[in-house]
Amino acid sequence: MKQSSYNVYKNPFSSVLLKLGVCFLLLGLAYRLFSSSYLPFSPSVVNDNELRLNADENFPPYAAEPPDITDDQLVNLDNYTSQSESCNLFIGDWIPDPNGPIYTNTTCYTIESPQNCMKNGRQDSDYLYWRWNPRDCSLPKFDPKKFLHMMRHKSLAFIGDSIMRNHVQSLLCALSQVEQSVQVYHDSTYKNRRWLFPSHHFHVSVVWSPFLAKATTFEDDNGVSSGLIQLHLDELDSVWTQQYDNFDYVIIAGGKWYLKSALYYENKTVIGCHNCHDQNVTQLGFKYAYRRVLNSTLKFITGSDHKPYIFLRTTTPDHFENGEWNSGGYCNRTRPFKEGEIEIGLVDEILRNIELEEFEGAETIGSENGTVLKLFDTMFLSLLRPDGHPGVYREFHPYAGKDKNAKIQNDCLHWCLPGPIDSWNDLMMEILLRRSS
Say which of 155, 162, 209, 423 is annotated catalytic.
Answer: 162
Give me the pLDDT at residue 78, please: 42
Give me the pLDDT at residue 437, please: 64
195 vs 186: CA distance, rounded Å? 9
Confidence bin at 325 (pLDDT 50/70/90) = confident
Domain ranges of the chain: 1-38, 43-436
Mean pLDDT lowest among 21-35, 50-64, 102-116, 241-255 = 50-64
Say which of 348, 414, 422, 423 is annotated catalytic.
Answer: 414
Give me the pLDDT at residue 127, please: 97
Confidence bin at 95 (pLDDT 50/70/90) = very high
Q: Could you check whether the bond before residue 418 is cis, i.e. omega within 30 degrees of 0?
A: yes
Average pLDDT, the chain: 84
Q: Is 261 a catalytic residue?
A: no
Give the model confidence (pLDDT) of 347-386 as tens digits. 999 999 999 999 999 999 999 999 999 999 999 999 999 9
Give me the pLDDT at residue 85, please: 57
How would DSSP label each residue in 119-168? Answer: TTT----GGGSEEEEESSS--PPP-HHHHHHHTTT-EEEEEESHHHHHHH
- pLDDT beyond 90 at 276: yes
Helices (H), 340-413: 346-369, 379-383
Is 235 exposed, middle or buried, given 0-12, 13-18 or 19+ CB atoms closer than 10 A?
middle
Say which of 318, 411, 422, 426 is annotated catalytic.
Answer: 411
Confidence bin at 226 (pLDDT 50/70/90) = confident
Q: Where are the beta strands (DSSP E) in 69-118?
A: 92-96
- DSSP letter for 81, please: S
Q: Is 411 a catalytic residue?
A: yes
- Span 175-182, average pLDDT: 97
* Better-predicted residue by pLDDT, 293 or 53: 293
- Span 82-91, average pLDDT: 74
* Better-predicted residue by pLDDT, 7 or 164: 164
Please list the residues that pair with 94 across neighbouring strands: 132
Answer yes or no: are the C-beta atoms of 93 and 133 closer than 8 Å.
yes
Give the model confidence (pLDDT) of 189-207 as tens digits. 999 999 999 999 999 999 9
Give me the pLDDT at residue 5, please: 35
Of the candidates 122, 173, 120, the one whose C-alpha atom is nearest the C-alpha of residue 418 is 173
Give me the pLDDT at residue 94, please: 98
Give me the pLDDT at residue 401, please: 85
Q: Is 97 a catalytic residue?
A: no
Contacts (Cβ under 8 Å, ≥6 apart) of 310: 250, 252, 301, 371, 372, 373, 374
